[in-house]
Chain A
Amino acid sequence: MATPRTPATGSLKRKPRLTELVIQSLLFLCGLLSIFVTAGIIYELGKESLLFFGRTQWQLTNKPIAAAISPADTAIEVGAVGTPAQPGDLLRINGEIVRLVTIENGAYVVERGVNDTLPAAHAAGVVLEKGIDPSLAEFFTGTTWAPHAGLFGVLPLLNATLMVSGIAILVALPLGLATAIYLSEYASPKARNTLKPVLEVLAGVPTVVYGYFALTFMTPLLRTIFGQDVVQIYNTASAGIVIGILILPLVSTISEDALTAVPRSLREAAYGLGATRLETAVRIVLPAAFSGIAAAVIIAISRAIGETMVVALAAGAGPAFTFNPFQAAETMTGHIVRISGGDLSYDSLDYNSIFAIGLMLFLMTLVLNIFSQYIVRRFREVYE
């Protein structure tokens, strides 16, 4: 006789396993960490940039007060040394903020105790500090970048960045695309398997070595071709060409993958209709692989914009608003590296300015990267 089955308690139910849960949570946290990194980038860049734009920066003028003043005085005798202030400027004397109204006979006539500070007595020899207010409008329209002189136009840096990237793409796009077409449509598998790694070696060389290459090979070469007077020792052309070589493998490898992914049947159909090899490659395969190639180019542009060491070594140290590729001009990345090369003190004008430039750089590359993903999704031709 069959004994009645006693249900083993919960034997068929899924038992909660504590260790599994803990492990899964830990793994999830590791995945989440990447979100924190992005959040950290946006938070830190945003916070310091807001500080850069939203706060009056105090800059030492090296101009001391010539005679002691009492809280009631409105005329301040100043020495001849140091940077002169303009009427309307905010000045700070030992914590008290004053507004300069006019300059009479070399003395500053001021409004005392501005911005909730109290007029106080000051001894002779106290050095004046000048208030500088970086504004967003000036940041994007000003044509001079000299934070210590109160000029905050990012255009010279942006212009140099775009020029270097433009030259780089002019070099990398035709070369990379032609290489990709040759490797995918013409080369034998054996040739492809030897040539592709050679180009990939180019991608593995550290960028600082490319910087060395730009300064010791490309610049002298350009100076020999175009003349010593035309080409400066530091110039954007040299940096741009070398960055073009640097991103060449990126363009060629991704494009080649996109071209190879186009199904064989398309090519055979084209041959069957009497198309030559070139016509098949350019009119059939290239359009079919458009999304992949466009994505490659955009990623390469984004890489060129963010490239640092080549421009830091070869493009010049000093912001300059010029459209001449043979002249020195500092890019955004080059500026960040030069400014932070020394011991940068926190909360200084320079410290905050690299965050403002960094935020702009981050947004530019982010938009490009997202755009390239969009292109891949939107324009991908799916063949089954």
Chain B
Amino acid sequence: MSTNNLHSSNLPGRHRLGRVWLVVFQVALVVGVVALCALLFNILNGSFGYVAVQDKVNPATLAVDGVPLEELDKDTLIQVLQANISAGLMARYEFDKPFAERDAGEVYDLILERVVAPEFVAQWSLYESLTNAGEVRATAAQEYPEARLEFRSWLNWHFLRAPQSSYPEIAGVRTAVLGSLWTISIAVLFAFPVGVAAAVYLQEYAPDNLINRIIQTNITNLAGVPSIIYGILGLAIFVRALGAFTSGIAFGVTDPATANGRTILSAGLTLGMLVLPLIIINAQEAIKAVPSSLRQASYGLGATRWETVWHHVLPNAMAGIMTGTILAISRAIGETAPLIVIGASTFIQVDPEGPFSKFTTLPIQIYQWTARPQSVFRNLAGGASLVLLGLLLTMNATAIILRNRYRRSQ
């Protein structure tokens, strides 16, 4: 039969087409996975690798009476420092923190920083260091004969512990990490209670009327507003209009002459606003998932609405609420643009002391380092990215563990 022939002659073509497109679909998926691998590889590539280090003064020449530098006691170290730097600089260090209060380690660090002053004259990526180590060594020996070649992990203990610095050799992320933790804490303190309360209202109390529908639509739309818009809003409201409060002047804790609203408090509240819709939406989902039989049982025993919510709905929804909140926070911790707009300081060397301090955060630090023209700062940015990803990974793991624990206990 002709139709049957037509059908069977057509069939192999249709199947062939199906196989071709299957390959296309698989390739698309592979491209996505490859992109993720490239992203991770790129960060690792910048975070490890050979560096050529050149000392201004060889530490061996600083030995006193044959005792190497690192074994000297504090007083001798101070003498070594005094002999090698200007009196003005010495006086400034004394002013920053009297030498009587510094321990030998701190003085030793100062000598390393100011006198030995190791400088990174060249650096290579991890890929080059692994595949082409011989050539890297040859280049280093030829172009920087006085330098020594080290394999360096840009993410190291010193990097985590040291404050920001304009010298890449001693720069670290301590101030940035503390700034991030401070802003995030304030954001959570603000957004979590308000967000959960709003979710409870919308899910448990709100009658289906115009205003509640507007609130619900509004929250959905707020979740889609670009983060930089929140930054602009934060600049106008928290930094400028409420500057007296966010700078701490109104509470008399800061000096009115120098303080302004570009503080941790402003940043935290801005981030809080940013994550509020996310927390509300997640908490609503969690509350929605609580079976209504629980509520009815509670009402049946004579509990009021609030008692039902407080004793039955919230405890049952808490796992979902916590998971949603942690995911919202991990969004906030990586936010950069809004904080740049509200004016996070780019160069901060002292630890933030409280909500009214100036601050910088980890993503801003990565941005600053990446934007610099010197390639050595790109390596620092790679190391800082690893720290940020580590922080995020910890938070997400916490979210998963929390979810599993609550699920088991129910």
Identify the A interface with B (CB < 8 A). 17, 19-20, 23-24, 26-28, 30-35, 37-38, 40-41, 44-45, 48, 174-179, 181-183, 186, 195, 198-199, 201-202, 204-213, 215-217, 245, 248-249, 252, 276-279, 282, 299, 302-303, 305-309, 312-313, 333, 336-337, 340-341, 343-344, 346, 354-355, 358, 361-362, 365-366, 368-370, 373
Q: Could you name 17 residue pairs across A and B whose Cβ atoms are closer than 8 Å?
A: A26-B197, A31-B202, A33-B198, A41-B233, A179-B28, A179-B32, A198-B36, A202-B36, A202-B39, A206-B335, A209-B334, A213-B43, A276-B14, A279-B14, A282-B21, A355-B232, A365-B229
* CB < 8 Å neighbour of A276 from B15, B26, B389: B15
Instruction: State whether B340 touches A337 (Cβ < 8 A).
Output: yes
* CB-CB under 8 A for A31 and B28, given A212-B381, A365-B226: no
Contacts A45-B232, A210-B39, A337-B228 given; 9 further ones with Cβ under 8 A? A35-B215, A183-B29, A204-B392, A208-B336, A208-B367, A209-B388, A212-B370, A302-B224, A369-B221
**Interface residue B330 (Cβ < 8 Å from any Cβ of A):** yes
Identify the B interface with A (CB < 8 A). 14-15, 17-18, 21-22, 24-29, 31-33, 35-36, 38-39, 42-43, 46, 193-195, 197-198, 200-202, 205-206, 212, 214-215, 217-222, 224-229, 231-233, 235-237, 240, 273, 276-277, 280, 304-306, 330, 333-337, 340-341, 343, 346, 363, 366-367, 370-371, 378, 381-382, 385, 388-389, 392, 396
Instruction: State whether B389 touches A205 (Cβ < 8 A).
Output: yes
User: How many A-B pairs fall under 8 Å by CB?
Assistant: 257
User: Which residues of chain A are within 8 angstroms of B225 by Cβ–Cβ distance?
Assistant: 41, 306, 362, 365-366
Instruction: State whether B366 touches A37 (Cβ < 8 A).
Output: no
* CB-CB under 8 A for A34 and B280, given A186-B22, A212-B382: yes
Instruction: State whether B228 touches A358 (Cβ < 8 A).
Output: yes
* CB-CB under 8 A for A308 and B227, given A182-B26, A198-B33: yes
* CB-CB under 8 A for A182 and B25, given A333-B226, A355-B232: yes
* CB < 8 Å neighbour of B340 from A20, A178, A179, A340: A340
Instruction: State whether A361 touches B381 (Cβ < 8 A).
Output: no
CA distance A299 to B22 in the complex (A): 27
Instruction: State whether A27 touches B396 (Cβ < 8 A).
Output: no
Q: Would you list the 4 A-B pairs with minimal beta carbon distance, nearest first?
A: A306-B226, A206-B334, A178-B28, A30-B197
* CB-CB under 8 A for A309 and B201, given A182-B28, A278-B17, A340-B343: no
Instruction: State whether A344 touches B343 (Cβ < 8 A).
Output: yes
Instruction: State whether B337 touches A217 (Cβ < 8 A).
Output: no
Instruction: State whether A175 touches B240 (Cβ < 8 A).
Output: no
Tell which of A30, A32, A303, A333 has the most Cβ of chain B within 10 Å.
Answer: A30
Give the residue name and chain of the B residue nearest to A351 (CB).
B235
User: Which residues of chain B are within 8 angstroms of A27 by Cβ–Cβ distance?
Assistant: 197-198, 200-201, 205
Instruction: State whether B336 touches A308 (Cβ < 8 A).
Output: yes
CA distance A38 to B32 in the complex (A): 35
Tell which of A34, A204, A312 has the most Cβ of chain B within 10 Å.
Answer: A34
User: Which residues of chain B are within 8 angstroms of A313 by Cβ–Cβ distance?
Assistant: 367, 370-371
Main secondary structure on chain A at its contact with chain B?
Answer: helix
Instruction: State whether B215 touches A31 (Cβ < 8 A).
Output: yes
Instruction: State whether A312 touches B201 (Cβ < 8 A).
Output: no
* CB-CB under 8 A for A277 and B367, given A202-B35, A337-B228, A361-B226: no
* CB-CB under 8 A for A178 and B226, given A27-B197, A44-B236, A212-B385: no
CA distance A183 to B28 in the complex (A): 11
Shortest distance between the CB of A205 and any CB in chain B (Å): 7
Shortest distance between the CB of A183 and any CB in chain B (Å): 7
Instruction: State whether B205 touches A181 (Cβ < 8 A).
Output: no
Shortest distance between the CB of B374 and any CB in chain A (Å): 13
Shortest distance between the CB of A322 and any CB in chain B (Å): 22
CA distance A198 to B36 in the complex (A): 8
Instruction: State whether B232 touches A175 (Cβ < 8 A).
Output: no
Instruction: State whether A34 touches B232 (Cβ < 8 A).
Output: no
Instruction: State whether B228 touches A306 (Cβ < 8 A).
Output: yes
Give the residue name and chain of the B residue nearest to A47 (CB).
B236
CA distance A305 to B17 in the complex (A): 36
Instruction: State whether A44 touches B232 (Cβ < 8 A).
Output: yes
User: Which residues of chain A are within 8 angstroms of B276 by Cβ–Cβ distance?
Assistant: 33-34, 37
Shortest distance between the CB of A260 and any CB in chain B (Å): 15
User: Which residues of chain B are within 8 angstroms of A23 by Cβ–Cβ distance?
Assistant: 306
User: Which residues of chain A are within 8 angstroms of B378 by Cβ–Cβ distance?
Assistant: 212, 215-216
* CB < 8 Å neighbour of B228 from A30, A38, A336: A336
Instruction: State whether A20 touches B224 (Cβ < 8 A).
Output: no
Give the residue name and chain of the A residue nearest to B221 (CB).
A369
CA distance A365 to B223 in the complex (A): 11
CA distance A308 to B146 in the complex (A): 43
Instruction: State whether B222 touches A199 (Cβ < 8 A).
Output: no
User: Which residues of chain B are within 8 angstroms of A276 by Cβ–Cβ distance?
Assistant: 14-15, 17-18
Instruction: State whether B43 touches A209 (Cβ < 8 A).
Output: yes
CA distance A370 to B337 in the complex (A): 24
Instruction: State whether A37 touches B273 (Cβ < 8 A).
Output: yes
User: Which residues of chain B are within 8 angstroms of A198 by Cβ–Cβ distance?
Assistant: 33, 36
Instruction: State whether B201 touches A212 (Cβ < 8 A).
Output: no
Shortest distance between the CB of B297 and any CB in chain A (Å): 19
Instruction: State whether B232 touches A358 (Cβ < 8 A).
Output: yes
Tell which of A178, A249, A370 has the most Cβ of chain B within 10 Å.
Answer: A178
Shortest distance between the CB of B110 and any CB in chain A (Å): 31
* CB < 8 Å neighbour of A217 from B38, B200, B341: B38
Shortest distance between the CB of B65 and any CB in chain A (Å): 48
CA distance A30 to B220 in the complex (A): 16
Shortest distance between the CB of A381 and any CB in chain B (Å): 21
Instruction: State whether A358 touches B229 (Cβ < 8 A).
Output: yes
* CB-CB under 8 A for A20 and B305, given A34-B215, A278-B21: yes
Instruction: State whether A199 touches B32 (Cβ < 8 A).
Output: yes
* CB-CB under 8 A for A206 and B228, given A175-B32, A216-B46, A337-B337: no
User: Which residues of chain B are within 8 angstroms of A303 by Cβ–Cβ distance?
Assistant: 224, 226
Shortest distance between the CB of B317 and any CB in chain A (Å): 15
Instruction: State whether B46 touches A44 (Cβ < 8 A).
Output: no
CA distance A209 to B396 in the complex (A): 17
* CB < 8 Å neighbour of B28 from A37, A175, A346, A368: A175
* CB-CB under 8 A for A208 and B42, given A35-B214, A202-B35, A362-B225: no
